[in-house]
Amino acid sequence: MKMALTSKNKIKFIDGSLPLAKIDLISVIWIDKSVGVWNDLKDRFSQGDMICIFYLQEEIYSFKQGELYVTDYFNQLKILWDEFINFWPHLACTCVNPCNCGAVQTGQQYMKNDYVIRFLKGRIEQYANVKSQILMMEPLPSINKVFSLVLQQERNANKCSIRSKGFCY
């Protein structure tokens, strides 16, 4: 938990190193509806940070499994991806009437697919067969399902290599 909070620059909220801020909502005092207050504060404080997004994308796209186990590789990539999503501006429908074109859902699915592709792209070639099988699935499975499939492949590969050396698994 400490590593996750540190990676998201949130550890100071629990370790006491962040000074208490004066709570002052005078800037929204004349907004008469709570949704208006929420939208004002959201617009003010949830701006994407393109510099952070730039460096996080660079790190995500260059991150490779190397000698890491699948679980360690997945966890480190997930930390980077969660931080990236935290900075990326969220898609939202602003139509007056409820939108039914599905553009927001399509954009969200593209992000999920990109996560799966990033995970598979950074994998070593030892698992090329499971990577190809996953990429041929339509629609692409969730990142958690992909992780599970690759983890099973790693376990099978390790079981076979241990057996070939004369050890029981």
List pLDDT tens digits, range 76-100: 999 999 989 888 877 777 777 777 8
Pair of tokens at residue 164? 């070939």
CB under 8 Å to 83, separation ≥6 — which residues?
7, 8, 52, 56
pLDDT at 168: 41
- For residue 165, pLDDT over 50 is answered with no
Output the CA torsion sign for 148, 60, 62, 104. Answer: positive
Of 53, 60, 108, 38, nearest in space to 86 by CA = 53
User: If you count them, how many residues does the chain have?
Assistant: 169
pLDDT tens-place string over residues 25-41 = 777 778 888 888 888 87
pLDDT of residue 20: 64
Q: Give φ, ψ of 96 to 5 degrees.
A: -65, -50
Give the per-residue pLDDT at 157: 81
Q: What is the pLDDT of residue 136?
A: 95
pLDDT confidence of residue 75: 95
Helix%, strand%, coil% for the chain, nearest 5:
65, 0, 35
What pTM did the predictor assign? 0.66
| pLDDT surpasses 60 at 14 | yes
Please indicate whether residue 49 or residue 156 has the higher confidence score (pLDDT). Answer: 156
Sign of CA dihedral 36, 38, 41, 43: negative
**Residue 125, phi then psi, degrees to nearest 5:** -70, -10
